[in-house]
Amino acid sequence: MSARVYLDWNATAPLRPEARAAVVAALDVAGNPSSVHAEGRAARAIVERARAQVAAAVGCQPQEVVFTSGATEAARVLQRPGKGCDVCVQDTAHDALWVHHDLTNATERPHGPGHTLAMGLANSETGIITEPPERTHGQYPYGALRADWLFLDVTQAVGRIPFAFSWSGADFAILSAHKLGGPKGVGALIIRQGLDIEPLVPGGGQEMGRRSGTENVAGIAGFGAAAEAAVRDLAAGVWEPVKKLRTLLENAIADTASQTIFIGNEAQRLPNTSCFATPGWKGETQVMAMDLAGFAISAGSACSSGKVRESRVLRAMGYDAVTARSAIRVSLGPTTTEDDIGRYVDAWTAAHGKFQARAA
């Protein structure tokens, strides 16, 4: 029996050896990072080393990094923009941003001082990269709206494309360790120096008063190690071969199924992400068929793919409901091989043939 092939890197990247080693080493440190004795200081040193590693990867200052349980918790800052503030969320943004505000009619809302534009730098479902607007006259334009603050979800972008918080113009950014090959359950909120927020979690005042609760020392250590390794890989060009494999995949599928639509293939995308739809062939059906064949893929983002529904992102992009229900995401990584792609195409083609036979 052939080994399974993991093609769902946008959901979670496999744990990096460097991150695993950092987690194991940190588990042996007994102290609480808030304690002032030697054991506590040792734990604090691990946290601060990781803070510096994450800051270097994101292109910000260490004091701008606030550790959280993940990007979703970090996005809770959108619930705390301050009195008289409002938030405009990009229509294709991740659900983690949308759950905090119902902004279906955001462009009709009055806008004034203190408004925040929240958007994703790279879409988790399609891989499409959206450059943030440049700040002009002290505000960020977004359609008819003008926002004073810019909030970026860089969860899928960091480590895969060049990014630096310092030159992005953003005031806030969020990311998660497990997208970089770090452990699950740890992430970060980046806050531009000089800004202040209400605590994400009130309590003991950890994380400079911005997120209380004893820090997840082992998870944070793994986060830092993964961030450092991810940036090193990016500089070494590991994603260029991945992009070529993505092209190989899409060309092979296109030769087999001419009616298949490749979402965003003419746009600037992450090098590893392919989102395509065969109208009428439900995405969840394809995911199950590929799983049985030994391949892990997704129908949409990991946070929503377990729900049987059409892709909100594709609907926002103008695709009809049938197409939005038929989309799958195949996301590759540096360990993906040409043989993996060939085997996947063969399995998908066989399943597609059965779909056509049923539809005839």
Strand, coil or helix: what is 171?
coil
How far from chain centre, in Å, is Cα 345? 26
Residue 306 and residue 300: Cα distance in Å, rounded?
9
DSSP state of 267: S
> What's the rounded Cα separation, in Å, for the pair 326 and 308?
11
Is 101 within 8 Å of 89 (Cβ atoms)? yes
Nearest alpha carbon to residue 309 among 317, 54, 66, 301: 301
Residue 330 phi, psi dihedral angles, 5° rounding: -115, 115
Q: How many residues does the chain have?
A: 360
- Contacting residues for 22 by C-beta, under 8 A, at least 6 apart: 50, 221, 222, 224, 225
Which position among 60, 88, 275, 303 bears the catalytic label? 303
Told to judge if 275 belongs to the known catalytic residues of this protein, a careful annotator would answer no
State the DSSP string of 173-209.
EEEEGGGTT--SS-EEEEE-TT-----SS-SS-TGGG
DSSP states of 108-122 as a string?
A: GS---TT-EEEEESB
Strands (DSSP E) contained in the chain are: 5-6, 65-68, 87-89, 116-120, 140-142, 145-147, 149-153, 172-176, 187-191, 261-262, 273-277, 295-296, 327-331
Structure tokens at 88: 């405009």
What residues are labeled active site?
303
